[in-house]
Amino acid sequence: MSEEQKKELISRYSFEKRILERELELPALPNAKKGEVVMRFAPNPNGPPTLGSARGIVINGEYCKIYDGKYIMRFDDTDPKTKRPMIEAYDWYLEDMEWLGYNPDEIIYASKRIHLYYDYARKLIEIGKAYTCFCKKEEFKKFRDSGFPCSHRENEIERNLETWERMLEGRYGEGEVVLRIKTDMSHRDPAVRDWVAFRIIYTPHPLVGDAYFVYPTLDFESAIEDRLCKTTHILRGKDLRDSELRQRYIYNYFGWEYPITMHWGRVNVVEFGKLSTSLIKREIESGKYEGWDDPRLPTVRALRRRGITAEAIRKFFISLGLSESEVNISMKNLFAENRKIVDPEANRYFFVANPVEIEIENLPNENRVEIPLNPKKNEKRVLNGEKFVYVSLEDFEKLRGENVRLKDFCNVILDRKAKFVSYELLGAKKGKNIIHWLPKSFAIKCRVLGENVWEGFVEKGVEREVGRVVQFERFGFCKIEKAEKEILAIYTHD
RNA sequence: GCUCCGGUGGUGUAGCCCGGCCAAACAUAGGGGCCUCUCGAGCCCCUGCCCCGGGUUCAAAUCCCGGCCGGAGCACCA
């Protein structure tokens, strides 16, 4: 074939691909019509929401906003024993969800609606699609692994109904009997073979006490609840992918249409490794962390306390999208997002960690030093340029004996007894010898909490910033938490 | 072991379904420079990626087959 023919062929088959300006937005949701979308975020409140939960809240919430849909907060709290809900955590979820910018249109507590699920269980037994099973779990595991049914599978419907009634009357002990959904004992995926729909637990539930003792498993509860709420789209982590396979059996038995599902991959935040809710709980109890909002923790409340904005968290997860591949992501990405939001607004202050007091000998006169509160704004803060000032130990040790610029004030030869050089900026260079300082008469004690604890002084004026993120120059962004006798700040990021 | 899902620069994401201006884009990180009286921000430049092997095709990141690697499920947890 000649070159010409080749070219001809190529141009015939190639088509112009429009290069889309990619914005920060989620891909279109399949089969979604504006105003008709119903989605839910369904956590078990056995601890406060973490960064991982935030992904679910944000992704589902964003789609609800885009499609003007209904957003349901559903507490999947149907295990009072192994994954026992924390009574305070219900409110924590609601608080954090609102803080992240999403307001649920409806709140559902599965534990209060268990009687509704019983009706469906009964119907399934009646049509021969569920059976009561007296196998011990190890015993059943053998059947599941080998793919053979256990004897209970062939129970008469009448007998199943009878046992079920007796379960509800409390005639059996924990672990004695369960209700199973009949799927296919030879299904190629062992995870879907005749799974448990109800089990008996006598431990009182933190929210509803002893109102029930026959509890549905997540798969049963979720299957029914999604139907009752008319959920159209389920977006969740890949760990629940097999749920769909299991739950579809129920949908098929009842002739229901299963919602559209999408799953995102596992997120591993490098800084935290595998920190599960239960592990955090243990470390709080052991005293390693001070509480669920310890700024070192990846809970939503800790991030908020620390000065990470909801907007940054939202953008962070929107940018991750719905990829099914598992990701190793660093907090640095979140911080970069946050810095962009916080930087233009944050006022600047001098914070001197590990202060060293120096005296400027032969200072000609004290004077007012005006420094912008923020380089992009006009407002100024005023410091008194006086004889006794603090500088940080780190700067002192590094630059002792050198010509150093006390930012916006004057140049000195740095020492405990420093020599005044000039008011003008003579040969001082950014990144080299311009340092921050504090007049002794203007300094308030300040403690900064982060990975470390820093003690030092901060300039007067930060008292006004309680609740806001400021930047301590040459130190980092911090959120001012308290201003009483001394200032308490939480380290946000650099 | 069985099942399912992934694998694009250091890290994320887009492109894959519908093969072709993709010798691959954006963000972040790292390196260099400019600017700024902060180690912050901004501006400019640079480094660096289609897991491997076959196949189909004029043409493969994209389709097919086979490996390898990673993750998840196989609970009377969610």
Task: Give the separation between CA A326 and CA A448, rounded to whole angstroms.
Answer: 35
Residue A376 has pLDDT above 60, yes or no: yes
Q: Give Cα separations from A294 to A154, A271, A297, A307, A457 (angstroms).
A: 54, 15, 6, 12, 23
Closest CA to A198 of A228, A165, A230: A165
Q: Which of A's residues 337-366 have CB atoms within 7 A of nucleic strand B? A: 339-340, 343-344, 348
Q: Which of A's residues 384-413 have CB atoms within 7 A of nucleic strand B? A: 394-395, 405, 407-409
Residues A137, A138, A139, A142: what is their CA dihedral angle, to the nearest 10 degrees?
120
Distance A21 CA to B26 C1' (A): 9
Indicate the pLDDT class of residue A20, thresholds 50, 70 and 90. Answer: very low
Q: Which nucleotide is nearest to A408 (CA to C1')?
A: B37
Distance A291 CA to B73 C1' (A): 32
Residue A7 has pLDDT above 60, yes or no: no
The burial class, CB within 10 Å (0-12 / 13-18 / 19+), for A249 is buried
Task: Give the separation between CA A225 and CA A247, rounded to whole angstroms.
Answer: 11
Closest CA to A383 of A317, A428, A443, A324: A443
Question: pLDDT at position A173, please?
Answer: 95
Indicate the pLDDT class of residue A24, thresholds 50, 70 and 90. Answer: low
Question: pLDDT at position A10, please?
Answer: 41
For residue A276, say whether its CB is under 7 Å from any atom of strand B. no
Contact A256, A225 (CB under 8 A): no
Q: Give Cα separations from A4 to A7, A11, A13, A16, A318 (angstroms).
A: 5, 11, 14, 20, 47
What count of other Cβ atoms lies within 10 Å of the Cβ of residue A168?
18
Number of H helices and E strands in chain A, helices first, is 13, 27
Q: Which nucleotide is nearest to A322 (CA to C1')?
A: B13
Indicate the pLDDT class of residue A431, thresholds 50, 70 and 90. Answer: low
Residues A256, A257, A260, A266: what is their CA dihedral angle, to the nearest 10 degrees?
30
Q: A86-136: per-residue pLDDT in tens? A: 999 999 999 999 999 999 999 999 999 999 999 999 999 999 999 999 999
Give the pLDDT mean for A198-215: 96
Q: A243-262: per-residue pLDDT in tens? A: 999 999 999 999 999 999 99
In our burial notation (b when 16+ CB lie closer than 10 A, e otherwise), range A91-107 reads ebbbebbebbebebeee
Q: What average pLDDT does chain A have?
A: 90
* DSSP output for A155-178: --HHHHHHHHHHHHTT-S-TTT-E
State the ipTM, two decimals: 0.92
Residues near A114 by beta carbon (within 8 Å), at least 6 away in sequence = A78, A211, A212, A214, A215, A216
Contact A161, A147 (CB under 8 A): no
Matching residue, tokens 């409140």: A45
Look up the CATH number of domain A24-342: 3.40.50.620
Most confidently predicted of A15-19, A221-225, A364-368: A221-225
Ordered by start, the domain boundaries in chain A are 24-342, 348-493
Q: A45-100: per-residue pLDDT in tens? A: 999 999 999 999 999 999 999 999 999 999 999 999 999 999 999 999 999 999 99
Question: pLDDT at position A266, please?
Answer: 87
CATH architecture of A348-493: Beta Barrel (2.40)
Matching residue, tokens 């026992």: A84
- Distance, CA of A55 to chain centre: 6
Question: pLDDT at position A260, please?
Answer: 93
Residue A22 has pLDDT above 80, yes or no: no
Distance A11 CA to B19 C1' (A): 14
Question: pLDDT at position A276, please?
Answer: 79
Contact A438, A481 (CB under 8 A): no
Residue A162 has pLDDT above 60, yes or no: yes
Strand B positions within 7 A of protein Cβ atoms = 1-8, 10-15, 20-22, 25-29, 35-42, 58-59, 70-78
CA gyration radius, chain A: 31
Q: Which of A's residues 450-489 have CB atoms within 7 A of nucleic strand B? A: 471, 473-476
Question: pLDDT at position A310, please?
Answer: 96
Note the maximum CA span of chain A.
103
Question: pLDDT at position A139, please?
Answer: 92
Of residues A215 and A326, the one with the higher pLDDT is: A215
Indicate the pLDDT class of residue A2, thresholds 50, 70 and 90. Answer: very low
Q: Give Cα separations from A327 to A101, A164, A268, A273, A285 (angstroms).
A: 25, 44, 6, 12, 30
Dihedral pair phi/psi, residue A161, rounded to 5°: -65, -40
Task: Give the separation between CA A434 and CA A6, rounded to whole angstroms.
Answer: 65
Task: Give the separation between CA A300 and CA A1, rounded to whole angstroms.
Answer: 64
Question: pLDDT at position A393, please?
Answer: 93
Q: Which of A's residues 34-73 have CB atoms within 7 A of nucleic strand B? A: 42-44
Task: Give the separation between CA A80 and CA A93, rounded to whole angstroms.
Answer: 18
Residue A17 has pLDDT above 80, yes or no: no
